Structure 1
Amino acid sequence: MEGETLSSGGMGNGRQMDGKMAQTFQKNFVQVQNILDQNRLLINEINQNHESKMPDNLARNVGLIRELNNNIRRVVDLYAHLSASFTKSMEASSEGNSAAKPGHKRNRPPP
């Protein structure tokens, strides 16, 4: 199991599924990394504003913290989407494997 790809198990379109899955993961991870990079900048600015103790800077932090919270929500949503996509692909792979190998079903002995 460990190290297996979705193309193993006799699925005709497994390589295509691997490619699609890899593209989905890559796209989502790039988005997550970009958001996390942006969050690092926001946190640095929030800290600088807080240390300055200037009223305008402290007031600006309210908006920056809201933006940070929204970014965190986006990261959670992206990971949830990734998880759902992965689960869906694994289920499709599993269905394809069982359809390709009908003799591997466990049959109950007659009573």
Structure 2
Amino acid sequence: MEGETLSSGGIGKGIREMDGKMVQTFQKNFVQVENILDQNRLLINEINQNHESKMPHNLTRNVGLIRELNNNIRRVVDLYADLSTSFTKSIDDGDSAVKPGHKRNRPPPN
């Protein structure tokens, strides 16, 4: 908030630690998401080719490919949910590390 000050230097250390863990989590999850999305791109291309061929065997194969695509999308949603939870938890943990020595100076009301 505007006009807020912290009398303890501990916040900087807590934020740096939180940032390091968060960055690792984000990087790990984003690499997983990127790999899944690359796989989805290949699946979609194959599904489109099978559809255009109109061959019964290829159309039957699309059922399994579409299931795999749906599962991949579900995994991406789960990864983003995990990221959101980790981010929220890190923010909450960071707030609790700030409480000792926390002092607010607010501007007087107008």
Which residue is equivalent to 2:75?
A: 74
Query: What is the Cα deviation at residue 11 of structure 1?
Result: 4.6
1:40: which partner in 2? 41
Distance 2:12 2:100 in 1: 9
Q: How many percent identity over aligned positions?
A: 72
User: Moved runs in structure 1, 4+ residues, more than 4 A?
Assistant: none
Indicate the RMSD between aligned Cα atoms, in angstroms: 2.1
Q: Which has the higher contact order (CA 8 A, sep 6+)?
A: 2
CA distance in 1, matches of 2:17, 2:50: 49
Aligned to 2:5: none
**Count of aligned residue pairs for this structure pair:** 99
TM-score by length of 2: 0.81
What amino acid is aligned across from residue 24 of structure 1 in structure 2? T
Report the AA paired with residue 60 of structure 1.
R
Matches within 5 A, 1:1-111: 10-101=11-102, 103-104=103-104
Shift of 1:92: 0.9
Question: What residue ranges of structure 2 are gaps of 5+ in the alignment?
Answer: 2-8
Distance between the aligned counterparts of 2:53 and 2:100, measured in 1? Answer: 65
* 1:78 to partner: Cα distance: 0.1
